[in-house]
Structure 1
Amino acid sequence: MSTVAKKAWKYRYVVLVILWLVYIINYFDRMAVLTFLPFIQKDLNLTPVEVGQLASVFFFAYAAAQISAGFLADKIGAKKVMYIAITVFTAVTAVTGMVKNFAQFIALRIGLGLGEGHHFAPAIRAINNWFPFKERGRAVSFFATSWAVAPAIVPVIVTSISVYFFAGAWRPVFYVLAIPGALGIFLLWRFVADSPKELIAKGRLSKDEDIEDGAVSATLTKEEKRKQYGVFLKDSNFYVYTLCLFCQLAVYWGSSTWLTSFLVTQHGLNIKEMGFFASAPYIVAFFAMMLGGWLMDKVLHRMKPVALIAYIGCIPVLWMLGAVEKGNTGMLLTLLLLTGFFVNLNFGSIYAYLPKRYPKEIVGSATGLANGIGQLGSFVSPLVAGYLVKVGANGSQDFSGVFIFFALTAALAAVCAIILKEKQINPLALVKDEKSVS
């Protein structure tokens, strides 16, 4: 073993930070579109329904990609799949600055969804490989803060680039975003491996048994590994969890998609003001996600109580947000901050549910399938919201019905959380049961 080899228990935090940074780059691309959406809508002369279709088609492609992403991560390795994903979504983002009409935009949104959709499940699989069972709640929660940090900084950064470098134009910003994409590819290549074993074999890490501590794992035959996939497919809680995730993603991406349009059209904010207010929920979101993961691992040792606090808190906050009167910026900011807290409190812990319940050999596939179905909530929500926006005779827009819809969706998520069971499943016991029955 090389004298310069580092302990795996230390290096896993390097891997986690790199995965976190690269996923922030992922969010830069998608959030840039949402930030400039009201201005893109004006330039391309799009209706609210067409805007909803543009947002939804991205998530349809994103959801479809989740399933193949999880399967590929289990088969060829997480790192290779993430390479492909970053290359695709970086190229599509750069081309977005050239879009001329609705049809072209639809095609680019599908391409972006397919690229970014192959990023999440492999990242979760990599975290699962690097972190012991007892730390996965906090590790996934920290990773989840990437989609709190990115939305918090992206609106401010991209609007500032637009205002100070391109006289308020949005198209050149997308060309600039190819730079962080290239950086992400380099970081992934230089610092990340699929598992500690890979770097231990190369002499870059010293062996650390703690990685396997508490994990449910086993040496199984090929036939037994195939049967493991039935572990989650036959588990009714997997489907309750998926519906819960569907609702959570519907609330998160529905509100994220329409937030900038809500601020510009209903509250009359200019591009700089909008950038600040649009960032507000996600500043709080970072702390909410970390708190949720800490509560799950250290205090409550379960996801369900965290989920119930989050979803029940969402209901009144979202309902009131859509009804804030124009000009009442104090109340608007307060409710945006509360929205950021409650919508994001359960994000880290909900994604730690599957790694804690199922064996690591199938976590990639289970996560990919659950997130693929769950992401349909992200597809449905912006589309439904587009039909709920009330357009006045003078062109004004009212979003009160949109946020009532989000509040009702959060209520359904709370019901799912009440039903959900969290006991860890042992795959060896299930395999033995099948053998005894046969």
Structure 2
Amino acid sequence: MATLGGSNVSELNNRPVITQTKTNFRWWFSVALWVLLLVSYIDRTNISIAGPSMIKDGVVTPAALALANSLFLFMYGLSNIFGGFLSDRFGPRKIALVALTWWSLMTLFTGVIWSSAALILSRVLLGLGEGMHWPLNSKWVKSWFPAHERARANMFWEFGLTMGPIITGPLVTWLIISTGTWKTPFILLALIGIIIMLPIIWKIAKDRPEESKYVSKEELAYIQAGRQDEVTGSVVSVGEVLRKWDFWLLLINWSGMATVFYGILFWLPSYLMKVRHLSLHMTGFWYMLPYILMTICIILTAFASDKLMKRSIFASIGTFIAGIGLFLGTHSGNLVLAMILISISSAMNGVVLPTIWSSLQRMFPSQNVGAGAGLLNGLENIIAAVGTYILGISFSIGFPYLIIFALIGGISGLILAKRGY
């Protein structure tokens, strides 16, 4: 059996000899992955803006909305796990087509819900489809990019995570206000997924660059020369993964940041309206700020991380700042200062994201990177679901929980950095 990547592997020596290619289709492919995640994140985050309107119309209760968001994350986490194994078994392209179709239909279902029970069911089913997405992208990056480009490749598709909420705030707010109903955003976005994204993925997404007619021989040789960092051997079992301390350190670090991120993602609008007493219009504006800053963080971190070939030190510092920023922001009496600090806290996800996934892609062999990504992101989302639910029930209890978890995640990242990641 293979073992997970050791910390004594020097990635700095794994640079390809070939420096020129006739095509750079791998980067265009990463743009397609970005758009796919963009659609996915708008589909899942529109509930943050539409949720208060659902409650106001008497369609759902606040408790049901909190439960629906947490169950979404829980199902999303489980779906990550088996989605990763399915992508290793059948290839990411087939699973992506099925997942995209499924979550688009479930987005449409959310747009016609009639009760709290229907909302909870729609969010559970949405999580089932969307959870397969992250391990697919990680498997694609492992196959399509040499080691020294992977943080930047992860940066490209992770732009969907930051741009999704940036677009969600003003777009969903405008659609609700202009049409007079919270149903419009769900119906429109479901149609975008089915009519636009399905043909794109069908046309250009291949499991490996060797299968793409758009990749030249020179580009393929360049990619293959940069795969020297891959862990070789046979399939790694789940038991081997779960017995590896490095995996658990990575999971705790990622969960600390994700708990903060998802808490802000799902509950910032409600916090601003209930605690800060802002209007829906102003809430949509402030909702964008964390993700604008996160986009900047992703770009800077990806380039710096690929240059220095250091991953976990970035993830650790980012998670510490997330916890400290959230503490200061929720205790500030000044709205502008509070929003800047909370936005910085959420933006640190842009520091953690490209480095966490680059470490994961180094840690697992090609045969198992989908399963490894599924386990990491799946368990992380299940863990984050707890914090999201607590925050939805009580801001006074939820925010301290998020802050403490972030600090624990930062410590875990420091230990992982000391182990060479």
- TM-score normalised over the length of structure 2: 0.88
- Stretches of structure 2 lacking an aligned partner (at least 5 in a row): 1-19
Distance 1:401 1:9 in 2: 53
Provide Cα deviations, 1:156-212, integer angstroms capped at 9, x if missing partner. Answer: 111112222x03x2112211112320211111112221111112xx58643521112
Distance 1:162 1:17 in 2: 29
The answer for the alignment partner of 2:297 in structure 1 is 288
Provide Cα deviations, 1:410-435, integer angstroms capped at 9, x if missing partner. Answer: 1010121122158789xxxxxxxxxx
Report the Cα offset of residue 402 of structure 1.
2.7
Alignment check: 8 A CA contact 1:37 1:260 kept: no
Report the Cα offset of residue 216 of structure 1.
4.4
The answer for the alignment partner of 2:257 in structure 1 is 248
Which of 324, 345, 348 is matched with 2:332 structurally? Answer: 324
Secondary structure (helix, strand or coil) at the match of 1:269 reads coil
The answer for the alignment partner of 1:392 in structure 2 is none
Distance 1:219 1:279 in 2: 40
Distance 1:378 1:43 in 2: 29
Q: Which moved more, 1:151-160 or 1:355-364?
A: 355-364
Report the Cα offset of residue 360 of structure 1.
1.8
Distance 2:267 2:138 in 1: 28
Distance 1:84 1:314 in 2: 35
Provide Cα deviations, 1:39-60, integer angstroms capped at 9, x if missing partner. Answer: 2223236554433211100011
The answer for the alignment partner of 2:207 in structure 1 is 194
Report the Cα offset of residue 232 of structure 1.
3.3
Alignment check: 8 A CA contact 1:283 1:340 kept: no
Alignment check: 8 A CA contact 1:216 1:360 kept: no
Provide Cα deviations, 1:343-379, integer angstroms capped at 9, x if missing partner. Answer: 4321121111111222222111111111111111231
The answer for the alignment partner of 1:179 in structure 2 is 191
Distance 1:203 1:93 in 2: 33
The answer for the alignment partner of 1:261 in structure 2 is 270
Q: What amino acid sits opposite 2:186 in the alignment?
A: F
The answer for the alignment partner of 1:428 in structure 2 is none
Distance 1:218 1:406 in 2: 35
Distance 2:188 2:231 in 1: 48
Provide Cα deviations, 1:257-291, integer angstroms capped at 9, x if missing partner. Answer: 11010011112222211110111110111011122
Quickly say closer, same or farther: Cα 1:210–1:236, change in 2 above 3 A: same
Distance 1:268 1:423 in 2: 46
Report the Cα offset of residue 74 of structure 1.
0.9
The answer for the alignment partner of 1:210 in structure 2 is 222
The within-5 A match list for 1:258-407 is: 258-299=267-308, 301-325=309-333, 328-387=334-393, 389=394, 399-407=395-403
Secondary structure (helix, strand or coil) at the match of 1:177 reads helix
The answer for the alignment partner of 2:235 in structure 1 is 226
Given the alignment of the two structures, is residue 161 of structure 1 paired with residue 169 of structure 2, yes or no? no
Report the Cα offset of residue 153 of structure 1.
1.4
Alignment check: 8 A CA contact 1:281 1:337 kept: yes
Provide the aligned C-alpha RMSD in A.
2.4
Quickly say closer, same or farther: Cα 1:336–1:10, change in 2 above 3 A: same
Distance 2:210 2:419 in 1: 29
- Stretches of structure 1 lacking an aligned partner (at least 5 in a row): 1-5, 390-398, 426-438
Q: What amino acid sits opposite 2:217 in the alignment?
A: S
The answer for the alignment partner of 1:81 in structure 2 is 95
Give the greater-gyration-radius structure (CA). Answer: 1
Given the alignment of the two structures, is residue 149 of structure 1 paired with residue 163 of structure 2, yes or no? yes
| Identity between Structure 1 and Structure 2 (%) | 25
The answer for the alignment partner of 2:246 in structure 1 is 237
Secondary structure (helix, strand or coil) at the match of 2:114 reads coil
Q: What amino acid sits opposite 2:405 in the alignment?
A: T
Q: What amino acid sits opposite 1:412 in the alignment?
A: I
Distance 1:218 1:339 in 2: 33
Alignment check: 8 A CA contact 2:37 2:158 kept: no
Alignment check: 8 A CA contact 2:229 2:362 kept: no
Report the Cα offset of residue 219 of structure 1.
11
Given the alignment of the two structures, is residue 26 of structure 1 paired with residue 12 of structure 2, yes or no? no
Distance 1:20 1:253 in 2: 19
Report the Cα offset of residue 230 of structure 1.
6.2
Distance 1:229 1:401 in 2: 35
Alignment check: 8 A CA contact 1:61 1:110 kept: yes
Distance 1:253 1:36 in 2: 17
Equivalent residues, number: 400
Report the Cα offset of residue 245 of structure 1.
1.9
Quickly say closer, same or farther: Cα 1:137–1:218, change in 2 above 3 A: closer
Alignment check: 8 A CA contact 2:74 2:381 kept: yes
Report the Cα offset of residue 228 of structure 1.
6.5
Q: What amino acid sits opposite 1:362 in the alignment?
A: N
Secondary structure (helix, strand or coil) at the match of 2:387 reads helix
